[in-house]
Amino acid sequence: MLDFSKDPHRRYNILTGEEVLVSPHRTQRPWQGKMEKVPDGERPAYDQDCYLCPGNTRAGGHKNPEYEDTFVFVNDFAALKPDSSNSAFERGLLRAKGEQGICKVVCFSPNHSRPIPEMSVEAIEKVVELWQKEYLEIGALDFIHHVQIFENKGAIMGCSNPHPHGQIWAQSSVPQEVKKKSRQQKKYWKKTGNSLLKAYLEQELAEKVRLICENEDFVALAPFWAVWPYEAMIIPRRHFQHIGQMQSVERKAFASILKDLTQRFDRLFETSFPYSAGIHQSPTDGKKHRAWHFHMSFYPPLLRSATVKKFMVGYEMFATPQRDITVEMAAEKLRSLG
């Protein structure tokens, strides 16, 4: 009989149709690889050299207002532009197509030193409210078919500015990860008439081994198919497609569980825990997408301590994702840090 805690095995991701190799016996191997440097000391509440602090001038030459809670602006160095060419190119086996879009930066608060786990629930709720507003406004534009809300936290995740902030990239096409999740959820919806993630959440609530924390409206868990060592997902108990449909009571509950989960991350290795986090929700292409179930994923890279990082190299790059520490072990650790 398969023993998840000892035997190498493959786990199936119901949202993408892909698999991850789990090798639990490798947790005993010694580590002599790279160790990341832990950031030094406390940051000030205001940094005169920070491009995102209130009243400061950004690298693109624009001056920030003296904002008091959240602040959003069009990225001065955007990866996507609304007025770029959308023409197609094809020559033999070479194909390309112009991509239009909008990129925005969302400053979570005027405080340079206070990331989400250190913000109040009320302050985080204002961030969620801004996410809602931006999703609905940008998504209503004719040429925008997908809105991606995300945060890269920490220098080792490629974050170019330590001021707590996230980004919104909206574009004219639907990205590959979203297409995969659309396909899998639609397939389950056609077969059962139910939400794939709602059915999955019911099973996780019954088994309890991968749960991290929960409240009346949301559940944070370590997904069965997780790739990153302490990967987590927040799923609403109610089935809805996008953040614009989140009710006021759910908005507060979402802010609360965001704080709860990220504080547990920080307690795990007693450091400001780095991660990439992203909201996955229905595209804005005018279709109903009834099968879509809103969720938010967290991909933290730390493996054994605040200085040892998980790298996606070798086998992971050329074959399939692989992890050593089991999802159940990771969930138990995070659950115990409440």
Q: Bridge partners of 279?
A: 149, 296
- Catalytic residue, chosen from 145, 163, 165, 293, is 165
Catalytic status, residue 295: no
C-alpha pair distances (Å), 107 with each of 50, 136, 157: 12, 18, 17
* Token code pair at residue 256: 């609360």
* Element spanning 169, H or E: strand 165-171
* C-beta contacts of 37-46 below 8 A and 24+ residues apart: 37/307, 38/271, 38/306, 38/307, 39/154, 39/155, 39/162, 39/272, 42/113, 43/112, 43/113, 43/162, 44/112, 44/113, 45/111, 45/112, 45/113, 45/114, 46/110, 46/111, 46/112
Q: Which residues of 142-175 are buried (b: 16+ CB within 10 A; e: fewer)?
A: eebbbbbbbbbbbeebebebbbbbbbbbbbbbee
CB 155 within 8 A of CB 117: no
Catalytic residue set = 165
